[in-house]
Amino acid sequence: MNSKTLYRIGIAGVVLFVLATVLAHLQMTRFYPMSQYISESFALGTPYGSYLRYLGILPSGILITLFTFKIPNLIEDYSPAKWGFYLFAIFYGLGTVLVAFFPCEMGCSRGRSDIGTLQMMHNAFGMLTYFVSPFALVLIGTKL
């Protein structure tokens, strides 16, 4: 796969994620991005949640994963940036894919003790994604 195609895949993944997120927020009458999770806009029970998850979030995660697994092949030397791309692919790319299959329950069960299996899985993937991804980005930044 040539670099131009690879860059297009990466850009398409990000654009698709942003588009799905914006559309998800528009479907909700009262969504406050400063106090609510993105996942709440795709949650079980939202009007277009399943469409947005399977036609927006899932393909976005696949494209981001593909991009971040393939881009290290363009880095000539063995550097921390390669590990950063692989970590980002696994934890952000695949994490995004998994979140499409394990959505948040309505309201993301904040403050509730009786959360379901889907919510527990969603929380676990989200926690791993947001703990590891910043570290991966720092490693990627070592090559810039």
At 4, list the tokens: 């131009």
Please tell me the predicted confidence (pLDDT) of residue 55: 93
Helix (H, G, I), strand (E, B) or coil at 33: coil
CA dist 56 and 32 (Å) reads 21
107-129 pLDDT, tens digit each: 676 666 677 888 888 888 888 99
Dihedral sign from CA coordinates of 35, 121, 48, 68: positive
pLDDT of residue 4 exceeding 80: yes
Number of domains in the chain: 1
Please tell me the predicted confidence (pLDDT) of residue 143: 74
25-74 pLDDT, tens digit each: 777 677 666 666 777 778 788 788 889 889 999 999 999 999 999 998 88
CA dist 104 and 120 (Å) reads 9
What's the domain range around 108? 3-141
| Position 61, amino acid | G
Please give the radius of gyration of the chain, using alpha carbons only, rounded to the nearest integer. Answer: 16
